[in-house]
């Protein structure tokens, strides 16, 4: 009996702790399941905790968190540290695509896009960094997109958030490296989640009439056309698992349908040539 208690205490002391945001569906849900299978004590965060019940049933800790609310984020991190005394992995997954012509998207909506996709993620980094530095280890995984290196018409505000997230991640990697903390960017391509349908609806609602209507129709078609060719969220979760378990993770993981070839083309093609490629892709889908 005493030996069992000691083993339990040792397990608790050695168990690594992970926090995954946007965990109620898609990439976030798949990542929580993956980390649980790897033995991580995993907190699954979302605004609506009722959607986390299936994850709670398999051992995750549901955590109500809104990344646009300071009190919510602070309370969440304080709870994790109070219950476990540590945090080893942060997966900043929450995000959405607010599509529409830069001219058409309201500045309030543009700000909200940055609040969710950039400032929420970076505030969580600020909140977990002290504990990771004290531990002299940890991994921060920022879920960007192939849209953090490429661009599409009517996606300017969304791409802006992902370009910003990539730059901030690069700076973080340098800043936290001396403390044993890794910073990793994951760049999903086409993934079978709710994201594409929501973004397609946004672009039609925002720019479906007026001077950008033709482009909106084409972009909505491109966003909605992926369907079966898109990759499963599991492939992204697998890449995240590789990143957090590697002794020396890669700085970037481009994963899922289209990610590697499109990022490679962006790096080698002149701007005008890449512009033409994107227009052709949109016109074919539309």
Calculate the dihedral angle through the C-alpha atoms of 132, 137, 165, 118, rounding to the nearest 10 degrees. -20
158 is known as an active-site residue = yes
Long-range (24+ apart) CB contacts under 8 A made by 128-133 are: 128/19, 128/77, 128/87, 128/90, 129/176, 129/181, 131/81, 131/86, 131/87, 132/87, 132/88, 132/176, 132/179, 132/181, 133/176, 133/179, 133/181
Q: Which of 40, 43, 158, 253 is catalytic?
A: 158
Burial of 280 (0-12, 13-18, 19+ CB in 10 A): exposed
Residue in the block written with tokens 């926090």: 19
Q: CA nearest 245: which of 106, 139, 160, 173?
A: 139
Q: Looking at 214-260, which runs of residues are DSSP E strands?
A: 252-255
Q: Tell me which of 16, 40, 151, 162 is the catalytic residue.
A: 162
Degrees, nearest 5: CA angle 192-239-140: 110
Q: Is 260 a catalytic residue?
A: no
The distance of Cα 111 from the centroid of its chain, to the nearest Å, equals 18
For the annotated catalytic residues, the residue numbers are 158, 162
């Amino acid at each position: 009996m005493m030996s069992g208690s000691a083993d339990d205490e040792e397990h608790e002391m050695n168990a690594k702790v992970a926090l995954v945001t946007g965990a109620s569906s898609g990439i976030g849900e798949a990542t929580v399941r993956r980390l649980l299978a790897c033995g991580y004590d995993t907190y699954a965060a979302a605004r609506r905790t009722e959607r986390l019940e299936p994850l709670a049933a398999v051992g995750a800790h549901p955590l109500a968190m809104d990344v646009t609310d300071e009190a919510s984020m602070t309370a969440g991190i304080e709870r994790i540290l109070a219950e476990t005394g540590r945090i080893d992995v942060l997966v900043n997954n929450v995000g959405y695509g607010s599509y529409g012509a830069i001219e058409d998207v309201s500045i309030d909506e543009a700000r909200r896009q940055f609040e969710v996709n950039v400032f929420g993620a970076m505030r969580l980094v600020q909140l977990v960094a002290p504990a990771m530095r004290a531990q002299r280890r940890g991994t921060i995984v920022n879920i960007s997109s192939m849209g953090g290196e490429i661009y599409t018409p009517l996606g300017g505000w969304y791409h802006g958030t992902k370009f910003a997230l990539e730059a901030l991640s690069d700076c973080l990697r340098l800043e936290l490296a001396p403390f044993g903390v890794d910073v990793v960017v994951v760049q999903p391509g086409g993934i079978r989640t709710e994201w594409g349908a929501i973004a397609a609806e946004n672009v039609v609602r925002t720019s479906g009439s007026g001077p950008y209507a033709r482009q909106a129709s084409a972009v909505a078609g491109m966003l909605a056309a992926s369907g079966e060719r898109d990759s499963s969220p599991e492939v992204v979760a697998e890449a995240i698992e590789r990143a957090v378990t590697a002794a020396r993770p890669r700085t970037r993981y481009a994963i899922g349908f289209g990610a590697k070839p499109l990022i490679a083309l962006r790096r080698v093609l002149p701007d005008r040539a890449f512009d033409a490629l994107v227009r052709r892709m949109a016109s074919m889908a539309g």
